[in-house]
Structure 1
Amino acid sequence: MLTAVAVAIAVAASAAACWLVTRDRLTEQLDETLSQQAKDIPAQYVEALRTKCNNSLPGDARLQLPTPYTIQIVTADGIVCTSWEKTRIPAQESDLAVAKGQIEEATHTTRANDGKEMRVTTRAYRGPITDAQGNQVAISVASPMAQVTDPLNQLALILLIVTGIGVLGAATAGLWVARAALKPVDRLTEAVEHVARTEDLTIRIPTEGEDEIARLSRSFNSMTAALASSRDLQQQLIADAGHELRTPLTSLRTNIDLLVRSEQSGRQIPAADKEALLTSVKAQMGELAALIGDLQELSRTPDTGPGGPAGVQVVPLHEIVDSALRRARLRGPSLDITAALEPWYVRGEPAALERAVVNLLDNAVKFSPEDGAVEVALSKGELRVRDHGPGIPEEDLPHVFERFWRSPSARSLPGSGLGLSIVARTAYQAGGTVELRAAAGGGAEAVLSLPGAAVPPPELPVG
């Protein structure tokens, strides 16, 4: 419809312009012809007309001038004398102005006494013929406007037919083009409805070309692929969390069952064994609490509205590292933990950054041998944590930041396999990177790089 309307307006405007130009050109040509005829009328014909007007010419004495035009003499006092066998055309003000010598020539459209529309050109006559008072007269030459209006009417009919055919053709072509162009949109609509109805995120839309519809289809495919990947990750997280939770819960149930049976049967467990059971229960409760805390941290969705997450602020990373070092020294009292920290300010969530640094240090403490050493350095936004433990096998390095992944050599140690995953997530949210690699001379080295500055921005508060 829009195409048809646009074509109709364009064709109608073109047709109207063509009709107006043709009308003006035909009228101009007729005016030129009438003006030339007025110049070329013989003096004896004008004399005959004047005599006729004075009723001095016999009725059958007519001067023959073969012309299709109506010729009239117009006097200054408004008397009009018309050529033989022609209908009289009333004189207009412009004709009288010519007769009076006020203007040289006048052209206008008027109607003869029989109602026929005429085009009239009146010129001052410079010959010897005058009116009864001896004044100069004017000569009018007229021709029917039909020789202009008839071709114009035919042209209007042709233009109307051409316009109608053009609009009909444009509407048909527009309908065909619209249907062809909207087929990808129909496919996209069907795909969206299918996903909404079945939650099937494996559907893909074929894409061809580089137009907007193809880009929209590719964006839809990318969106469904991302949603499918997210759902798979959620399902994997639930499955992994269930698996990890099952182990401490099973151990807790076994220990508690032993304590309950002891109380119910009256058979007391030896004090040393009971103390070991309670210690195991406490350790498993702590492990369970740590695992739940890690899961909550991973499942937390920060506010990503204007200005970034709600808790994001400029924080001194060196102070966070220093606080985490105090906790690490308590957990590894026999270790020699050294630190060289330079001031560095970053934008991030203080709690998340501290959790990430603590996880890196806990990892180093856990894998360090008794009376071993841990070296920590912060310089220009790069935090390095190096231990002298057994190190990480080369084949395990690509998996260390995956959720719940634990090296076979570390499965006997406490932990959930989520610590480094939390570090990677925090680094990504802060716009930085994290890397774990084998250190020269043995052990492992973790490198956390965060963008920032050595001094805090003056316009932002420091957390």
Structure 2
Amino acid sequence: MTGPLRRVRALPLRSRLALLVATAVAVAVAAVAVACWFVAREQLGNQRDETLRSAKVDKDYLAELYGYCTSASKLPPQPYTAMTVQLIDAQGTACTAPDASALPVTGADLAVVRGEQSGALHSETDADGVDMRVFTYPVTVTVSRGPGQPRAEIDLGVSIARPLSEITKPLSTLAWVLLLVSGIGVVGAGAAGLWVARSGLRPVDELTEAVEHVARTEDLTVRIPVEGEDEIARLSRSFNSMTASLATSRDRQAQLIADAGHELRTPLTSLRTNVELLARSDETGRAIPPDDRRALMSSVKAQMTELAALIGDLQELARPDAAQPGPLQVVALHDITRAALRRARLRGPELTITEDLAPWYVRAEPAALERAIVNVLDNAVKFSPSRGTVDVVLHRGRLTVRDHGPGIPADELPHVFERFWRSPSARQLPGSGLGLSIVARTVQQSGGDIALAPARGGGTEAVISLPGAPQPPPDGA
């Protein structure tokens, strides 16, 4: 059984569907044909038996047949040509007309003659080997004992028989007709199943061709026409959505690479120029003035710092799990903000950074969340004037970082969270243009949101809102 199943599974899907339909139709047609044949046999057999039971042979003919059998008197032609008539006496002696084949006498027939049964119905084979259906019933026949003698009544049994071929031949013909019709039905069902399979699987063929085309050419612009609301249509929509997402992802990847190349080119070009100046000074022996050399080395150091920050941001965005948050846990947002403030104060020692942090617990990835807050504070430090103030307030999950710098023009606010976007006024300041993009992604992964807006009295206000989480139990509780 395993071998045929393995061969069936190796067939194409449309062939398996056509085979399945043909098999199902064959089973159904066979069941109907067999049921029809048995019903027809039963009905024809009941009708034949009822005909035998209701048939009565004329008593005058029976008296003449008895006289023929006992005294060899002349027997008139038999009027019953469609059936065999046989007389049976109490001793079991049977008598039939000369042109009829004798039927065997059974115990049931003798019981009828003796009056023990009202009738007997059975199947027998006559003297010529023909299968017959026989019905025996009792009859009293008045016969003559001879010239001058009174007539006497004799109890006999009459067997009426009809050949079984009257039923078997039509049934055989019906069987062949049903077999032919069933075969035509199965073949037609197989053809219809193959046609239905081809029509139904045409969208699957189109999907297969599209997938093979994408695999061969990497062309993600291919779309499959969607018709209807069935499973195939859903599959087509899913494929179209998948290719659209892949195309968008590839475009973003290409854009990221292009933007990264553009952003890396500037510090690398400047760094190369400065290094070449230092190398030329050493090769030619023409010393660079000390002040210029110090400025040149400061520029190299700043460019190296900027390049390292840019590479770090690119690594953060290029991580395979960048789109998926790490393991989330309940953390104290006020403690994470306080740690980020310590780092921010080191980067802007001349600034006054105030804090008002109310306890608040959130569900987030601690390292990513701290990095996001550090990026927001770095922006505030970077754009704050010398000896300026940065105000940090945390109240009921709303973290506000407000600087007193020049602010962000209204037409630039929609672009601040885009990758590599930098305000024209900030292009001379260190940064990669990726910080706020990373912040937005981290905050969204934690279920919150971030917004930048002009602050009253000047400057920019960054607001991070994060949903609260149950406070974790103390250690050892």
What TM-score does the superposition give when structure 2 sets the normalisation length?
A: 0.83
Question: Is residue 2:129 matched to residue 1:119?
Answer: no
Residue of structure 2 in register with 1:264 after alignment: 283
Does the alignment pair 1:340 with 2:354?
no
Residue matched to 2:235: 216
Identity of aligned residues (%): 59
Task: Give the C-alpha shift of residue 51 in structure 1.
Answer: 5.7
Moved more, 380-389 or 398-407: 380-389
- Correspondence for 1:36 among 54, 59, 81: 54
Match of 1:88 among 76, 85, 102: 102
What is the Cα deviation at residue 127 of structure 1?
4.7
Query: What does residue range 59-458 of structure 1 map to in structure 2 within 5 Å?
Result: 59-61=73-75, 64-66=78-80, 68-73=82-87, 79-82=93-96, 85-92=99-106, 94-95=108-109, 104-123=118-137, 125=138, 127=140, 138-302=157-321, 311-333=327-349, 334-346=351-363, 348-456=364-472
State the shift of 1:21 in Å: 1.3
Measured after TM superposition, the shift of residue 241 of structure 1 is: 0.8
1:329/1:337 contact within 8 Å kept: no
Structure 2, unaligned runs of 5 or more: 1-17, 143-152
Q: CA deviation at 1:406?
A: 0.9
Aligned to 2:32, the other structure's residue is in SS state helix
**Corresponding position of 2:13:** none
Cα deviation, residue 449, structure 1: 3.4
Contact 2:132/2:164 (8 A) holds in 1: yes
Q: 1:368 to 1:104 in 2, by over 3 A?
A: farther
Distance 1:66 1:325, change over 3 A: same
Q: Distance in 2 between matches of 1:457 and 1:31?
A: 94
Contact 2:416 2:436 in 1 (8 A): yes
- Contact kept, 8 Å, 2:84 with 2:160, in 1: the verdict is yes
**Residue identity opposite 2:427 in structure 1:** R
Aligned partner of 2:302: which letter?
A
- Give the distance between the partners of 2:473 and 2:136, measured in 1 at CA: 91
Relative distance call for 1:97 and 1:56 in structure 2 (3 A) is: closer
Residue equivalent to 1:13: 31
Q: Secondary structure at the match of 1:56?
A: helix
Q: How many angstroms does 1:278 deviate by?
A: 1.9
Task: Quickly say closer, same or farther: Cα 1:87–1:265, change in 2 above 3 A.
Answer: same
SS at match of 1:453: coil
**Closer, same or farther in 2 for the Cα pair 1:439/1:46, shift >3 Å?**
farther
Structure 2 residue 17 is matched with structure 1 residue 23 = no
Task: Write the letter of the residue equivalent to 1:236.
Answer: Q
Task: Tell me the equivalent position of 1:56.
Answer: 70
SS at match of 2:86: strand
- Alpha-carbon RMSD across the aligned residues, in angstroms, is 3.3
**CA offset at residue 447 of structure 1?**
3.0
Deviation at 1:106, TM superposition (A): 4.1
Deviation per residue, 1:76-100 (Å, 9 max, x gap): 7755444553222224565456566
Q: Which moved more, 1:255-264 or 1:236-245?
A: 255-264
The reply to whether residue 4 of structure 1 matches residue 22 of structure 2 is: yes
> 1: distance between equivalents of 2:164 and 2:320?
84
- Aligned-partner Cα distance in 2 for 1:108–1:79: 18
Contact persistence 1:107–1:120 (CA under 8 A): yes
Identify the range of structure 1 (177-186 vs 223-232) with the bigger mean alpha-carbon deviation.
177-186
Q: 1:299 Cα shift? A: 0.5
Q: Could you say what secondary structure the match of 1:72 adopts?
A: strand
Task: Please give the per-residue CA displacement for 1:110-163, whole angstroms capped at 9, x wherever unaligned.
Answer: 32222222222344x27589xxxx997654322112222232233233323332
Query: Cα distance, 1:198 vs. partner?
Result: 1.7
- Per the TM alignment, residue 192 of structure 1 is displaced from its structure 2 partner at its CA by 1.8
Alpha-carbon distance between aligned partners in 2 of 1:380 and 1:323, rounded to the nearest angstrom: 19
User: How far apart, in 2, do the equivalents of 1:314 and 1:145 lie?
Assistant: 92
Q: Could you tell me the TM-score, scaled by structure 1's length?
A: 0.85
* Aligned residues of 1:318 and 1:343 also touching (Cα < 8 A): yes
Residues 350 and 91 (structure 1), Cα distance of their counterparts in 2 relative to 1, 3 Å cut? farther
Partner Cα distance (1:407, 1:340) in 2? 30
Stretch of structure 1 that moved more, 351-360 or 88-97: 88-97
Instruction: Provide the rounded CA distance (Å) in 1 between the counterparts of 2:402 and 2:122.
Output: 106
Counterpart contact for 1:401–1:421, Cα < 8 Å? yes
Residues 50 and 255 of structure 1: CA distance in aligned 2, closer, same or farther (over 3 Å): same
Contact kept in structure 2, 1:23 and 1:152, CA below 8 Å: yes
> Number of residue pairs matched?
448
CA contact (8 A) 2:89 2:157 kept: yes
